[in-house]
A and B are shown apart, each in its own frame.
Chain A
């Protein structure tokens, strides 16, 4: 009996410590990425990066001001389009559901969520770039909005559902109409989660590069709604793939800026959420 037990106990110890090793490796991946970006990016980040336009490879002192502004414009427009649509669709799914239709919409939203970003780029190209015969920030924004909508819809629905029914019934019992109840009671109660979902969704699309490759393309100068526009993720890609050391430095700097924004948004959103729902449960 003894040797068998010893064997089993050894296996137990070994395997459990292996799982700890697995955890260390996977968590370490995050720290390696952050560490590298911090080290390489901070070496290369300077004031020029934020205010100057890009220069050709031989010339030093260029920056990515147009890409930063361009990203803000494209993501901002995508949010302007995608947030209301996603929010209202989520409200519908949670408050007004008509069984069959709602489950179809829910399923389709999940489907849309899984569409690869490059395919979204193709669709936006076909729908916006081709008729306009122009690469535009608008096309890029539409591509990103298509990715944003399913995320916001599901998040809105999920957090609205978590609002206890007692709140709703209380409002209705006091004579409020349904839409007033939704607007003044249900949505504010779920607002923490809803806003979190919106922030996370916007942070996700802000980092996307593939949908912008053939919609908003890029620009050496300031872009615009109906012009090709530079965006931070696309610039990182172009700079990284070039052979110039100066451009590599810029890619690291841009990478640091991008990941800082995305991670701050993510951490902030989750902290807001962790502080609990603004309404006591049950």
Chain B
């Protein structure tokens, strides 16, 4: 009994060290696509305002949307603009705030191949549809003369979770391949014709491609760069081979007509320098916050993000938003309460 009399108060003291809610704490969840820059931003924000902690949990765009709908997070992030049905399911209307531009790149791990490969749209569709089965396929060799491909089966790596990156990639494939559109379609989660491997979020796919010989996967540019993995040049709609860079992504955004609610797709953009698998990524911000203190934090953060924050994105291989988009967003920001 004595021991218990000592144990329990000791535990109580430990538990009491749980910090009280004097800090302003917000919780957000969603896409892993922009998580490197978001984590940097939220970290900076905390350094600038030590009383504010914005906790971002990358769980995939689908999880972010679900948690926003259920109210378990204060705001969410998604690469895929919400569908009409998802918007209808929200109790509090939410605004889409594009944050950065990014590129979905095709990274690969082919034994013996160390160069940057060129993939044409038909090749990519063929690989993921299963019509191109081996690396030394004629179409691949035609686009990459001089590269020695092994006679191995291609292992496509997909996303296993509900992913905005998945949506962007399948959206692109639907545009360039009617067969893909018919058989698979575009969504955060699809039924892939070829089985391959499945990874959880961008880091999961990156890890799998890195470790698995003969694999190919679709991830955000930053993850490929951070892990020193090769990624391909892709032929765009204008017929040019484009490397995914900030410039080529910005070129893709330039040709887009931004609707008032910011829900737009910029894959397979027409521009001559445009990288074909580019996308905006969004923060989904409720139009009305129950807690005015939280609303204040969010508005201040977004204001900073749209102006000063944009200066930091290029270092992490994201492209900053075009000025017209920023101006429109600042107007939308005024509507958040």
Contact = CB atoms under 8 A, between A and B. Distances in A.
Touching chains A and B, CB distance < 8 Å: yes
Interface of A: 55-58, 69, 72-73, 76-77, 79-80, 83-84, 87, 129-130, 133-135, 137, 183-184, 187-188, 191, 195, 198, 217-222, 224-228, 241-244
Contacts of A137: 18
Given A57-B36, A58-B36, A191 B43 contact: no
A217 B36 contact: no
Contacts of A243: 203-204, 206-207, 210, 223, 227
B70 interface: yes
A76 B11 contact: yes
Interface stretch (B53-61, B132-140, B278-286, B302-310): B53-61
Contacts of B7: 83, 198
Contact of B72 (A73, A129, A188, A221): A129
A220 B25 CA distance: 11
A218 B57 contact: yes
A183 B5 CA distance: 12
Given A244-B226, A244-B227, A226 B8 contact: no
B15 A221 contact: no
Given A56-B43, A57-B36, A133 B55 contact: no
Interface residues of B, number: 41
Interface residues of B, dominant DSSP: helix
A50 to B, nearest CB: 16
Interface string B1-28: 1111001100110110111110001010
Given A57-B36, A87-B4, A224-B21, A76 B15 contact: yes
Contacts of B56: 220
B245 interface: no
A72 B12 CA distance: 11
B21 A228 contact: no
A73 B11 CA distance: 9
7 smallest beta-carbon distances between A and B, as pairs: A243-B207, A56-B39, A243-B206, A221-B53, A76-B14, A242-B203, A133-B71
A84 to B, nearest CB: 7
A97 to B, nearest CB: 21
A133 B72 contact: yes
A217 B57 contact: yes
A65 to B, nearest CB: 13
21 contacts: A56-B39, A56-B40, A56-B43, A58-B226, A73-B14, A77-B18, A80-B8, A80-B11, A80-B15, A83-B4, A129-B72, A134-B72, A218-B57, A219-B55, A221-B46, A224-B19, A224-B25, A226-B21, A241-B203, A243-B203, A243-B206
Given A76-B11, A242-B203, A243-B227, A222 B19 contact: yes
Contacts of B226: 57-58, 244
Which of A58, A134, A137 gathers most chain B CB within 10 Å? A58
Interface in B250-282: none
A243 B229 CA distance: 11
Nearest to B29: A217
B57 A188 contact: no
Contacts of A57: 36, 203, 226
Interface in B202-226: 203-204, 206-207, 210, 223, 226
A80 B21 contact: no
A83 B43 contact: no
Contacts of B53: 220-222
Contact of A225 (B1, B2, B18, B200): B18
B42 interface: yes
Contacts of B227: 243-244
Contacts of A217: 57
Nearest to A183: B1
A262 B27 CA distance: 31
A57 B201 CA distance: 15
Nearest to A125: B72
Contacts of B204: 241-243
Contact of B207 (A58, A198, A224, A242): A242
Contact of A191 (B1, B57, B210): B1
A187 B8 CA distance: 16
A226 B21 CA distance: 9
Contacts of B4: 83, 87
A87 B226 CA distance: 51
A228 B55 contact: yes
Given A133-B71, A187-B1, A241-B207, A221 B18 contact: no
Contacts of A79: 11
